[in-house]
Structure 1
Amino acid sequence: MSIQWFPGHMTKARRQVEEKCKLVDIVFELLDARLPDSSRNPMIHEIVKDKPRIVLLNKADLADQKWNERWIKEWNERGETPLLIDAKTGKGVGQISNLSEKVLETKFAARAKKGIRSRQIRAMILGIPNVGKSSLINRLAKRTATQTGDRPGVTKAQQWIRIGKSMELLDTPGILWPKFEDHLVGLRLAASGAIREEILPVEEVALFGIEFLQQHYPSAIQMRYQLGDLSAEPINLLEQIGQKRGCLRRGGVIDIEKAAEIFLQDLRGGRLGRITFERPDEERMKIEEENNQRIKNLDQ
């Protein structure tokens, strides 16, 4: 099932980004460390083309440390320049400027040979909604340079922001792609809070999250809610969560929607511990399967 979501301001935003991309030296691609591939806009290559790029894995403090390390290795193997950061606390953010200078060293040296005077690095920050762009910009600027919010789509316009003496940063609205052919990608994005809750039923997203925790982080859900049989169906565990959190309607009926909202708030806020929703091995296998299928189609 394809999930359609492409508000009008996002069509305009992509057009603006493509126009402004010519003005910058480097692009900061901001991803969610909990779901690096699912939070990556596949249109990014079309928009950025061969522009130098740094992949910033934000919210690393909410992601499983073991898988953070594996993802860094994965991105390096893909020929990317990755960096783990936490925009809220500032961890890793101080390395961005030096890493940018390193990535652009050859380009700026070539300019110097041509007699072109050095200037501030001009950078652009790109990422899907609610991945932490505004928080990162404010941390870099060391002031409230742009509005932040715990909901997707807070940034609606572009603005140049001075970052110290060595950099200017062009902020851009978050851009999602027109539709998600892979329903699992949509569920991961919804579980992380990147998609507005009206796009996917809150109960479906919560059940996805509970089932994922059952398989990969059973102790997290057990410790948070003191549940009984973790082998029960996800809907039964959601009902238990609702009962323990007092999500009851008249007659003692459990309010499943309210229970789902509470669970997702806990999941997104890190109250269930450090969770990573996808692993590089899974994504590599998926890519290999897709390539094998293409080869089969060509042989037919």
Structure 2
Amino acid sequence: MAIQWFPGHMHLTKKAISERIKEIDVVIELLDARLPGSSANPMLADLTSARPALKVLNKQDLADPARTALWLAYYNSLPATRAIELDASETAPARRLIQACRELAPLRGGMVKPMRVLICGIPNVGKSTLINTLTGKRATKTGDEAGITKLEQRISLADDFYLYDTPGMLWPRIIVTKSGYNLAASGAIGRNAFNEEEVALELLDYLIKDYPEALVARYKVEVPAGISDEQMLEEIGRKRGAVLTKGRINLQKAAEIVIHEFRACALGRITLETPDEFAQWLAAGQLLDAERQVKKDKIETDRLIRFKKIPRPDKPRDAG
């Protein structure tokens, strides 16, 4: 099942960014270091493409360091783009943002031409925590829940450095199926928009292949060759006491355990995608989306023909 989540306030955020970007010098996009490709909003990329970009791989303390290095190299290879890793709760690294922005827009600064920076990202990626760290006070509300910030805010980080914070925003249609599951696992999507069992199974399918040692260490289970995600979820449920009458496993409870412990880093530092993997998923998603559009166009053409809005392709036009 494809996962989608685009509440009404996100439409307002899109409109606000479209207006604000006209006077912005640098765009900071916070990404989740555990899923740097899936957490990069393609709609934001379209809205802000005319501005230099600073990609911040946030929550790097939860991610696989080797894979973080791969993603930093990838984003730093893009034009007009810089990338740094960050743990938003650390004061000193957070202040690197100001220096990085000045390097991306060296002609801005001072009271005559103050630096104007837009910070954006998906829900629950850590923007509010980062801003509170930068300002040294509780400037914004925070919480481990998607969709906390609802309004744009302007925050002065220095006399000549203005930061505009926007609510977390996903995009109307997620074409990369794997991204939907990864976003749900990370907490970027409201819990009513996905099925916990499906998300946990997708997560376990990846962990079995890429991080089997994490499952062994955390759940004291074996990960033999060929074990399925369903079998692993049942085994974890059994180990954690999520057992119903007659020995049946409470799969919902087991799924909640897996998702919660991934988010809490109880499984260790894990990254759910590499640049190469995400590129393959994106290419496949774009192909399916193009095929979907062809089918949609055909349905619309057939409708117009049926109501005689346009002629049939094989019907000759009147010579006049």
- Is contact 1:202-1:260 (8 Å) kept? yes
Residue pairs, 1:120-269, within 5 angstroms = 120-231=114-225, 232-269=227-264
**Distance (Å, rounded) in 2 between the aligned partners of 1:263 and 1:5:** 22
Match of 1:283 in 2: 278
Match of 2:50 in 1: 50
**Distance (Å, rounded) in 1 between the aligned partners of 2:166 and 2:216:** 40
5+ residue gaps in structure 2? 291-320
Match of 1:29 in 2: 29
Deviation at 1:178, TM superposition (A): 0.5
**Distance (Å, rounded) in 2 between the aligned partners of 1:290 and 1:211:** 19
Deviation at 1:286, TM superposition (A): 5.3
CA deviations over 1:190-249 (Å, ceiling 9, x no partner): 111111222221001101111111100110010000003443221121112112222233
- Is contact 1:59-1:86 (8 Å) kept? yes
**Distance (Å, rounded) in 2 between the aligned partners of 1:99 and 1:235:** 45
- Is contact 1:83-1:92 (8 Å) kept? no
Please, what TM-score do these two structures have when normalized by structure 1? 0.88
1:211 is aligned with what amino acid?
D
Structure of larger gyration radius: 2
Secondary structure at the residue paired with 1:137?
helix
**Distance (Å, rounded) in 1 between the aligned partners of 2:149 and 2:286:** 37
CA deviations over 1:157-186 (Å, ceiling 9, x no partner): 111112244422111011111011221110
- Is contact 1:123-1:167 (8 Å) kept? yes
**Bigger Cα displacement from structure 2, 243-252 vs 164-173:** 243-252
Aligned residue pairs: how many? 287
CA deviations over 1:81-102 (Å, ceiling 9, x no partner): 1011010234621211111111
1:89 is aligned with what amino acid?
E
**Distance (Å, rounded) in 2 between the aligned partners of 1:182 and 1:98:** 34
Do structure 1's residue 104 and structure 2's residue 105 form an aligned pair?
A: yes
- Is contact 1:85-1:91 (8 Å) kept? no
1:71 is aligned with what amino acid?
W
**Distance (Å, rounded) in 2 between the aligned partners of 1:229 and 1:3:** 28
Match of 1:39 in 2: 39
| Structure-2 change in CA distance of 1:94 and 1:195 (3 Å) | same
Secondary structure at the residue paired with 1:214?
helix
| Structure-2 change in CA distance of 1:149 and 1:292 (3 Å) | closer
Secondary structure at the residue paired with 2:192?
coil
Deviation at 1:76, TM superposition (A): 1.5
Match of 2:16 in 1: 16
**Distance (Å, rounded) in 2 between the aligned partners of 1:229 and 1:292:** 34
| Structure-2 change in CA distance of 1:287 and 1:180 (3 Å) | closer
Secondary structure at the residue paired with 1:236?
helix
